[in-house]
Chain A
Amino acid sequence: MTNYRIQGATGEWEVVIGLEVHAQVTSNAKLFSGASTEFGAEPNTQVSLVDAAMPGMLPVPNRECIRQAVRTGMAIEAKINRWSRFDRKNYFYADLPQGYQISQLYHPLVGEGALHIDADEKAGIPEEKIIGIERIHVEQDAGKLMHDQHPTMSYVDLNRSGVALMEIVSMPDMRSPAEAGAYVRKLRSILRYVGSCDGNMEEGSMRADVNVSVRKPGEEFGTRTETKNVNSVRFVMQVIEYEANRQVDVLENGGTVDQETRLFDPGTGTTRTMRSKEDAHDYRYFPDPDLLPLELEDDFLEECRASLPELPDAKRARYENELGLTPYNARELTAEVETFARFETLLAATANGIGKPEKDVATQVANWALSVAPGVIKSLGEEANPAHATAQAQASILDMQAKGEISGGQAKEIFEIVLKTGRDPEEIAETEGLKQVSDTGAIEAAIDEILANNGDKVEQYKGGKDKLFGFFVGQTMKAMQGKANPAVVNQILKDKLG
């Protein structure tokens, strides 16, 4: 359990959080029309007759959008409703051409599911937690009003009008900003794994309505406020922080929290009233008579399930159990699609190059991918050309290192040159003299000289002063200018010292 509490004048308060995340479905076409969904196009260039709600136009469901929402539901282990239905949510606004949004109130496509958020001691999440998901429904996005184009008029851009959204509604199961942040990050990760949403919060592909209430621990839920359209993890956490403290202040000053819709101001980190309950719309929901109920067949569901990739939790478990990675490495590598994709490509190339099973090289590759390579790239800054960091080049470096041909330090040096020039790592090792000496003759000669010059220390070592072994190694490496293979040095030293 979280120990996140607001310290009020009257004691501790607990925060209760539920999130409604709107995720734009990855699809080339809109939910009910064939128009394109590409981001950033000129205003009103991606608008069909249906999106503009011309007289007599009719919606026809886009199978791909339904498929993506079903796959998302399966990814959160949710109940998929074989029978669902679209409803109209009626209200007037200039960005809503039909005068209603086609959504799903009464019979959503996806029912209850669950999402696991991982323990993160540092963030104040002492143990793994399961956040309930109430439902996922599919609905149309609205257009966009532009208020800065004309002194007295607003312009309307309908490019987004009709784009498919999934609304993913959580249970009020979160108790701290950190949990909410972890929830959004995990949800985003799953959506991106599944490929049902690109998770791009800056472009508005994902945004959250944040429901917050406070209560004395153990008491009934308090009255909640809903802050609309929050578009980053950080802002979600700020909204909760601000709202919870605001509500505690209101309550402790003898007031009551109004059930209302609020807006977040990222500039000040505060929220303000958008509309109160009295001004709330009566949306007059009713089943959309232009659309038949959505009935899903076995074949369709099977295809959806079969097309699901390995999901974050399963992948993480496999990394730990089968590849033997540390929990930290496993979590870091599986958080983002790009990270695990790069890791798995590099792992395969390295294992293949060395001719060993993946699990034997996984830790080496993980350390390289998570700390060594990013460190080199970071230190080079502008000088690094990321395009040169191919899996093949990195695998080649790891291969040389595994074979003892180069040391860890040499690996970094070679990678630096690769990043700057794109040259071949083996060629670099050769021409730049970045190779370890494994020639036992040369090493043996150096060791003989060191042992001869340090007779006293040899005696002490033989007398039981084991720590001196490190001294001999250091001296040898120094004599070899750091290029001796440490394993070979160790072996010869052990043989000679008895």
Chain B
Amino acid sequence: MTELTNLGVKAIRDGVAGGDFTAREVAEAFNAAVAAAADLNAFIVTTPDHALAAADAVDAKRAKGEDLGAMGGVPIGMKDLFATKGVQTTAASHILEGFQPQYESTVSQNLWDAGAGMLGKLNLDQFAMGSSNETSYFGNVASPWKKDGTNAAMSPGGSSGGSSSAVASRIAPAATGTDTGGSIRQPAAFTGICGIKPTYGRCSRWGTVAFASSLDQAGPMARSVEDCAIMLEAMAGFDPKDATSLKMDVPAWETGLNADLKGKKIGIPKEYRMDGTDEEILQSWERGKEWLRDAGAEIVDISLPHTKYALPAYYIVAPAEASSNLARYDGVRYGLRDLPEGAGLQDMYAATRAAGFGDEVKRRVLIGTYVLSAGFYDAYYNQAQKIRTLVARDFEKAWDACDAILAPTTPTASFPLGSLENDPLTMYLNDVFAVPASLAGLPAMSVPAMLNGDGLPLGLQIVGKPFDEQGVLDAGLAIQQRAAFEALKPGGPEKWW
């Protein structure tokens, strides 16, 4: 059965449809792989029955000659930020431990409607706040990768670290992620997989636990660009229940894939060449340019002058929204309630939130509350919104000169778990290249480029024009074909779990 777990979305879907194996065989193989991978701590809960039931439904449809759906027979991991009906949904926080929604998020429902099944709920940084998957109440997630010659557990990135770890270790062919300021792209880069954050509004946010509403976007994480295209197509679509949802048809990204970039211009932003950026990261960027040129694209230099202000602005806007979004976790209606003897309402709030939220969540709620408070609003929140506008304008101007932008995904490769525990600022810097596209709401993808000297994956990021996921996927495919990352470690990172 190990063979089946090496397959990706497209191979499973086509194999099930073609009768090479049954959806049930696939689900059983992945269920077994998940059960054997407890060391990675990628899942908070596993749902083997859900995967099997979905598989059986697909097999039954095939027997009747019915359409199996775009994800027919593919079992996936579901980031535990998506509400799943009757299945515990926690956002990796103690405050929601035991919470079972009576509703299904739009994105997960879309996937089930497309024939996918659920292997389980994937671990993440608590409320998607973190870049290393060390803020989960349910423990750290380990990357399947190790630095050559060491045994330290490495970070799978965050916040979608359960997703990246599961996909990279081949215990899931694909997983959902969410990206607020790099939470799909950075973990994808750290673990040598692909992940795309679509244009803001492509995927409905309904039923996804909110972190920062104006930035949150769901997207797929998988081991190939094609798989991402297939899964994104299944996840996306207008949703009248989300007022920020894009009222646009979902393009046929999979069939539209085209790695021939003749006539395309790829921009190289000079501001992304920052002091202290890892030499090997810069090297991967150079290779990326060569690969895209080889695919027929013209490489042009561009400028995104407000890049350096993007990260500070992000760390005002996102916590501000989060401080308000997380106010609903108050112990009154659901989730944790800590009601000390004789306590009043205010005491209950304080005790519940003190016990329920982790340190990073508290840090961001405090930052957000501070930047919105009277007397500081103009200096922080309003300034940050202005910067956000300027960052978006940088990109708009850039589109006069190019069709997509190539940059590193992260300034460094993965790091050992615990190594940045007491250095939140360095931790925040992980997302320095990812955040500008988030602030501008643009589609952006990370694809694996190479292994560094320590044997750790490095990713390259493609940022596209609004609604041009196709252009991003095409450039990603061109890189994938030339980087041949999968061939560098056939079968993926060495199994140690």
In the complex, chain B residues whose CB is within 8 Å of the CB of A93: 345
Task: Assess the A284–B324 pair: CB atoms within 8 A.
Answer: yes
Whether a CB of chain B sits under 8 angstroms from the CB of A295 is no
In the complex, chain B residues whose CB is within 8 Å of the CB of A49: 102-103
Whether a CB of chain A sits under 8 angstroms from the CB of B152 is no
Whether a CB of chain A sits under 8 angstroms from the CB of B321 is yes
Q: In chain B between 317 and 375, which residues have their CB closer than 8 angstroms to a CB of chain A?
A: 320-321, 323-324, 326-328, 330, 332-334, 345-346, 349, 369, 372-374
Question: Which residue on chain A has the smallest CB distance to residue B372?
Answer: A284
Known contacts A61-B243, A284-B373, A291-B243: A56-B210 contact under CB 8 Å: yes
> Binary interface profile of B, 421-453, with partner A (CB < 8 Å = 1, else 0)?
000000000000000000000000000000000
Question: Which residue on chain B has the smallest CB distance to residue A49?
Answer: B103
Task: Assess the A55–B243 pair: CB atoms within 8 A.
Answer: no
Question: Which residue on chain A has the smallest CB distance to residue B326?
Answer: A99
In the complex, chain A residues whose CB is within 8 Å of the CB of B485: none
Task: Assess the B332–A94 pair: CB atoms within 8 A.
Answer: yes
> Binary interface profile of A, 23-65, with partner B (CB < 8 Å = 1, else 0)?
0000000000000000000000000010011111111110000
In the complex, chain B residues whose CB is within 8 Å of the CB of A282: 373-374
Task: Assess the B83–A55 pair: CB atoms within 8 A.
Answer: yes
Bound-state Cα–Cα, A289 to B319, Å: 12
A313 to chain B, nearest CB (A): 37
Whether a CB of chain A sits under 8 angstroms from the CB of B91 is yes
Q: In chain B between 172 and 210, which residues have their CB closer than 8 angstroms to a CB of chain A?
A: 205-210
Question: Which residue on chain B has the smallest CB distance to residue A145?
Answer: B345
In the complex, chain A residues whose CB is within 8 Å of the CB of B374: 282, 284
Q: In chain A between 430 and 484, which residues have their CB closer than 8 angstroms to a CB of chain B?
A: none
In the complex, chain B residues whose CB is within 8 Å of the CB of A99: 324, 326-328, 330
A79 to chain B, nearest CB (A): 25
Question: Which residue on chain A has the smallest CB distance to residue B91?
Answer: A55
Contact of B327 among A59, A100, A291 (CB under 8 A): A100
Question: Which residue on chain A has the smallest CB distance to residue B209?
Answer: A55
Task: Assess the A98–B327 pair: CB atoms within 8 A.
Answer: yes
Task: Assess the A292–B244 pair: CB atoms within 8 A.
Answer: yes
Task: Assess the B320–A286 pair: CB atoms within 8 A.
Answer: yes
Interface SS of B by simple majority = loop
Bound-state Cα–Cα, A53 to B327, Å: 10
In the complex, chain A residues whose CB is within 8 Å of the CB of B377: 284-286
Task: Assess the A58–B206 pair: CB atoms within 8 A.
Answer: yes
> Binary interface profile of A, 47-90, with partner B (CB < 8 Å = 1, else 0)?
00100111111111100000000000000000000000000101
Contact of A53 among B103, B208, B241, B333 (CB under 8 A): B333
Whether a CB of chain A sits under 8 angstroms from the CB of B101 is yes
Q: In chain B between 71 and 94, which residues have their CB closer than 8 angstroms to a CB of chain A?
A: 82-83, 89, 91
Task: Assess the A289–B213 pair: CB atoms within 8 A.
Answer: yes
Task: Assess the A56–B105 pair: CB atoms within 8 A.
Answer: yes
Known contacts A58-B206, A97-B328, A98-B328: A290-B83 contact under CB 8 Å: no
- What class of interface size applies to chain A in its complex with B? 20 to 34
Whether a CB of chain A sits under 8 angstroms from the CB of B286 is no
A14 to chain B, nearest CB (A): 32
Contact of B96 among A52, A55, A60, A98 (CB under 8 A): A55
Bound-state Cα–Cα, A94 to B337, Å: 13
Task: Assess the B206–A55 pair: CB atoms within 8 A.
Answer: no
Whether a CB of chain A sits under 8 angstroms from the CB of B6 is no
B176 to chain A, nearest CB (A): 13
Task: Assess the A90–B213 pair: CB atoms within 8 A.
Answer: no
Task: Assess the B83–A56 pair: CB atoms within 8 A.
Answer: yes
In the complex, chain B residues whose CB is within 8 Å of the CB of A284: 323-324, 369, 372-374, 377
B400 to chain A, nearest CB (A): 26
In the complex, chain B residues whose CB is within 8 Å of the CB of A54: 83, 101-103, 333-334
Task: Assess the B327–A58 pair: CB atoms within 8 A.
Answer: no
B126 to chain A, nearest CB (A): 13
In the complex, chain B residues whose CB is within 8 Å of the CB of A300: none
Whether a CB of chain B sits under 8 angstroms from the CB of A92 is yes
Known contacts A286-B377, A291-B243: A56-B321 contact under CB 8 Å: no
Question: Which residue on chain A has the smallest CB distance to residue B349?
Answer: A92
> Binary interface profile of B, 115-153, with partner A (CB < 8 Å = 1, else 0)?
000000000000000000000000000000000000000
A172 to chain B, nearest CB (A): 23
Whether a CB of chain B sits under 8 angstroms from the CB of A156 is yes
Task: Assess the A88–B205 pair: CB atoms within 8 A.
Answer: no
Task: Assess the B333–A52 pair: CB atoms within 8 A.
Answer: yes
In the complex, chain B residues whose CB is within 8 Å of the CB of A58: 205-206, 241-243
> Binary interface profile of A, 285-318, with partner B (CB < 8 Å = 1, else 0)?
1100111100000000000000000000000000
Q: In chain B between 28 and 44, which residues have their CB closer than 8 angstroms to a CB of chain A?
A: none
In the complex, chain B residues whose CB is within 8 Å of the CB of A59: 243
B411 to chain A, nearest CB (A): 28
Known contacts A55-B91, A56-B83, A56-B210: A90-B320 contact under CB 8 Å: no
Bound-state Cα–Cα, A142 to B330, Å: 16
Chain A residues with CB under 8 Å of chain B are: 49, 52-61, 88, 90, 92-94, 97-100, 154, 156, 282, 284-286, 289-292
Beyond A59-B243, A97-B332: 15 further Cβ-contacts under 8 Å?
A53-B333, A55-B83, A55-B89, A55-B328, A56-B208, A57-B206, A60-B243, A90-B372, A92-B349, A99-B328, A99-B330, A100-B327, A284-B373, A286-B320, A289-B212
